[in-house]
Amino acid sequence: MNEMMADGIITAAMYLSIILTGGCFSFLTKDYVKKQSYALWAGLAYAITMIVLKTVPCLLNNIAAYALGVLASTLVLCAFDRERMTVKLFLATTFYSIRWLVTSLEVSAVSLPFGSFVGYLNLKFNSATLAYVLFVIQVLLDLALEVLMMLGVIILLNRYFKYKNYDMSAKECLMLCIPSICAVFGYCVKIMYRDVFHMQTGQEIDFYLGVYTPVAYAYYICSILSILVVIILFQEFKLRQKEQMSRVVLEMQMDDMRRSIARVEKNYGEIRALRHDMGNHIQILKGMMSAGDRQGTNEYMTRLEEAYQSVSPRIKTGNPVTDIILGEKCMLAKEKGIRMDVDFHFPSDTNADAFDLGIILSNSVDNAMEAVDYDNPYISVYSKRRNHILLICVENSFAGCLTIDEETGLPKSKKKNENHGWGMVNMRNCAKKYYGDIDIEQQENRVIFCAMLSLK
């Protein structure tokens, strides 16, 4: 077969491999960016960089050249989407490792055995046409298997890495990158050992040491598996951490509910004491009126009214727990200069638990206070009921644009505090106890939170 033709086929396959590898990088990163077009541009940057490095003579070896290609694509990705930089660093490191592991695995498992088979056929039939056909088949088979294996690993990675919108810390990123980094260094050591052996002995280590290829084959598989296993363990750890944090926050809110009940019991005790003394108060007032002490009577009645107002709930919803919660929120809103309207009615003839509704009301009003537009500060809390369906709504003024998390369907919090955002999770859990859910949407300059519950 003509050597020039063979070189042309190899060169075309090399450029096609670069383009398809860039496509694999786009496929890996498309679920981690705001728009899929960003991932396409990153894959294109990888392909262009590698084509330039392959076309223009340079002193870089393959390891450094492909590292530069991944770096260029990552920089383009970060330029378009500047959120979750640590996630992008993890993706770049993992992709760089996968690229070498998959290529080496394909060569060890398929290319070398098939090449030996092709050589056997060429020696047996000694046909130029057959040699050309077999060569083209080998090149296409190597390219197809390399891309398919890379896509297979990427599909597994995307499947097991569920927290795609999670902004991991630098330590978490390092933990996830370590298997990929170790795999790349191991690959470099393997190549150096092979080259040194060839330089010193003039022989290929694969043929001289029979177990070298199977050991390398096992190393590639174990390296890929270690990357996937670390990702799976990380997901399980984050899930347990999420559940634990949710329980901690829920326990804190339950403690708040218990304190609210204690305040209700205290108020009821004061009301009973006031009612018990009401006869004495009436006799005192009668005596003062009979004596013509009009000023003293008015002062006494004023103090009596103040005593009644201090123990009487400011908000009357039909349940003492929600009375206390909304009453305290109204006082807090007043201190902050926020107008708060309440038209909430507790569904007392249903299986609704005051604790659950209290958690929903407390968290939703707190979120509304944090997000309220102080140019027009107002919060409206109301409920609607139709048959067994209860709708709890909290509306607040809002200036800005609400960003929704695609994974949870809930607004993204701008706070980096790890304890922040669990109120949303607890509200959703409370709603799901009643076969319902929560929803938040923005309508022009206001945000409306709704919790739908199905009651018995």
pLDDT of residue 319: 84
Average pLDDT, stretch 367-386? 90
What secondary structure does DSSP assign to 103-129, as a single string? HHHHIIIIIHHHHHHHHHHHHHH--HH
pLDDT of residue 307: 61
pLDDT band at 338 (very low <50, low <70, confident <90, very high): very high
Share of the chain above pLDDT 70, in %: 75
Nearest Cα residue to 276 out of 301, 307, 315:
307
Tokens standing for residue 333: 């809103």
pLDDT band at 381 (very low <50, low <70, confident <90, very high): very high
Instruction: Decide if 408 contacts 348 (C-beta within 8 A).
Output: no
CB-based burial, 302-334: b 16+ in 10 Å, e otherwise: eebeeeeeeeeeebbbebbbbbbbbbbbbeebe
pTM: 0.62
Instruction: Decide if 90 contacts 177 (C-beta within 8 A).
Output: yes
d(CA 400, CA 445): 8
pLDDT of residue 394: 94
* CATH superfamily for domain 314-456: Histidine kinase-like ATPase, C-terminal domain (3.30.565.10)
pLDDT of residue 325: 84
Instruction: Decide if 217 contacts 94 (C-beta within 8 A).
Output: no
pLDDT band at 128 (very low <50, low <70, confident <90, very high): low
pLDDT per position as a tens digit, 414-425? 555 444 566 787
d(CA 270, CA 274): 6
Average pLDDT, stretch 76-94? 89
Domain limits of the chain?
Answer: 3-240, 314-456
Instruction: Decide if 176 contacts 90 (C-beta within 8 A).
Output: yes
Instruction: Decide if 317 contacts 345 (C-beta within 8 A).
Output: yes
